[in-house]
Amino acid sequence: MLNSYDILETISMIEHENLDIRTITMGISLLDCFDSDIDRAAQKIYDKICRKAARLVETGNAIETEYGIPIIHKRVSVTPISMLASCCESHDYLKLARALDRAAATIGVNFIGGYSALVHKGYAGAEQAFIDSIPEALATTECVCASVNVGTTKSGINMDAVRQMGGIIRRSAELTADRNCIGAAKLVVFCNAPEDNPFMAGAFHGVGEPECVINVGVSGPGVVRAALAKAPDSDLTGIADIVKKTAFKITRMGQLVATEAARRLEVPFGIVDLSLAPTPAVGDSVAHILEEMGLETCGACGTTAALALLNDAVKKGGVMASSHVGGLSGAFIPVSEDAGMIDAARAGVLCIEKLEAMTCVCSVGLDMIIVPGDTSAAVLSAIIADEAAIGMVNSKTTACRLIPAIGKTVGEELAFGGLLGSGPVMPVRTASPEKFIARGGRIPAPLQSLKN
């Protein structure tokens, strides 16, 4: 039962500590939009999204106004488009991307995710050709986001897809070099991709999901940091307890918004993703939480241990506050989207190797990492392979969102604006993995996958 203190505390979190609902994401199944004629398929996609999500933005705005809770983004995710593409006789898949983009513009959402392919065990149908269309699809649309799942703990890693994705990332950056390489910022490569993730750019509506569903992503790094600042002498056990209690409060707000949105839109409530999603705004940084624990700078020795504590405590506190938790759930470390991470990278304390170690214990992976513009496709593929191996062996989601800054080198900056932020070009080891990546094939699933 809420009391006046709870209400005032929540108001303070919103006004002074950047507490918000990062996204309400409607997942929509397109399984009934299959058609051999690509023009008919595109029209079916547009019509269904516009029909199902017609009131999504209006409803989000109404909840925001009535409850005083900021809801930053309203988004849509759809069935992986490669599944529909494989049924089409034509390979002009840009028609499907443009249908998604037109639908997003019509209903007024910020992003639409699901220009995606799941190829963790191999290619089926036209998936390889579909993946080849991703760079141009991202370059010629505004709101469309893409993702490709190249590995799972159960199936291993499809190294042919890993090799292909290095080139796809480079091409996505090159085609949007005049727009700060934004194409690559809308593309994620996954291992163990979740089917109910509400966050972009990796959201898609999995085939095991309902016809239509509401998923919500919460955010609150500033709230956690403020809570820790009130306990400067606490030991780490006490720190974990503070984070758990704070995560509980943040997630309760997400549960309220999720259930209310689902009720008003007359669709099922799916999950709350209780991730701490940072922004470039001062006071809204996961890195600053780690520094509040006692690190001089994020990236210093001890950073991985501090992040492990934070991620675990967020999950323990949040899971008690929601009837359904899913998505990624934990702590994000996107370099260009986190003010503290940006500062640490600029200072040279935070490097890609340290970030890779941190991904062993965080929610997702190497996110929004800006690399030199001349980074080869083979090196990009090798980074993806390393990150996928961490996810595969540890039975967790890992991902790469790498942005080659075309025409720029280490120390220069790339700015995207908005929540995508900005950041320095980070150095990458250039010793060639070309022969390893060129071998292709599949890295077998680890022994721990045999759980039956």
pLDDT tens-digit map of 76-116: 999 999 999 988 888 999 999 999 999 999 999 999 999 99
Burial letters 44-58, b for 16+ CB under 10 A, else e: bbbebbeebbeebbe
pLDDT for 411 beyond 90:
no
Band of residue 218 on the pLDDT scale cut at 50, 70, 90:
confident
pLDDT surpasses 50 at 148: yes
Q: Looking at residues 52-75, what average pLDDT do you find? A: 90
Counting Cβ atoms within 10 Å, is residue 342 exposed (0-12), middle (13-18) or buried (19+)? buried
Please tell me the distance from the alpha carbon of residue 99 to that of residue 39, in angstroms, as a whole number. Answer: 9
323: β partners: none
Q: How confident is the model at residue 5 (pLDDT cuts 50, 70, 90)?
A: very low
Give pLDDT tens digits for 366-409.
Answer: 999 999 999 999 999 999 999 999 999 999 999 999 999 999 99
Read off the pLDDT of each residue in 349-376 and give the average, rounded to a whole number.
92
**Record: fold of 216-444:** Anaerobic Ribonucleotide-triphosphate Reductase Large Chain (3.20.70)
Distance separating alpha carbons of residues 436 and 418, to the nearest angstrom? 38
Start-to-end C-alpha separation, the chain = 43
Domain spans, the chain: 25-191, 216-444
Residues 6 or more apart in contact with residue 93 via CB below 8 angstroms: 38, 81, 85, 129, 130, 133, 137
Report which secondary-structure segment, H or E, holds 95.
Answer: helix 94-107
On the question of pLDDT at 9 being above 90, the answer is no
Share of the chain above pLDDT 70, in %: 95
CB atoms within 10 A of CB 291: 21
Confidence band for 130, pLDDT divided at 50, 70 and 90:
very high
**Which residues, in sequence order, are CB contacts of 39 under 8 Å at separation 6+?**
95
Residues 358 and 333: beta-carbon distance below 8 Å:
yes
Q: May I ask the CATH class of domain 25-191?
A: alpha beta
Condensed to tens digits (0 to 9), the pLDDT of residues 308-336 reads: 999 999 889 888 888 888 888 877 888 88
Mean pLDDT of the chain: 90
> Which pLDDT score, from 0 to 100, does residue 169 have?
98
- Amino acid identity of residue 277, one-letter, is A
Q: Please determine whether the domains at 25-191 and 216-444 fall in the same fold group of CATH.
A: yes
Q: What is the pLDDT of residue 1?
A: 42
Q: What angle do CA 173, 176, 181 make, to 5 degrees?
A: 50
Average of per-residue pLDDT across 204-208: 93
In the predicted structure, residue 211 carries a pLDDT above the cut 60: yes
Contact residues for 137 (Cβ-Cβ < 8 A; gap 6+):
93, 94, 97, 115, 144, 146
Residue 4 has pLDDT above 80, yes or no: no
Q: Confidence band (pLDDT; 50, 70, 90) for 251?
A: confident
Q: Is the pLDDT of residue 7 over 50?
A: no
Give the pLDDT band of residue 3 (cuts 50, 70, 90).
Answer: very low
Provide mean pLDDT across the span 150-166: 96
pLDDT for 304 equals 95
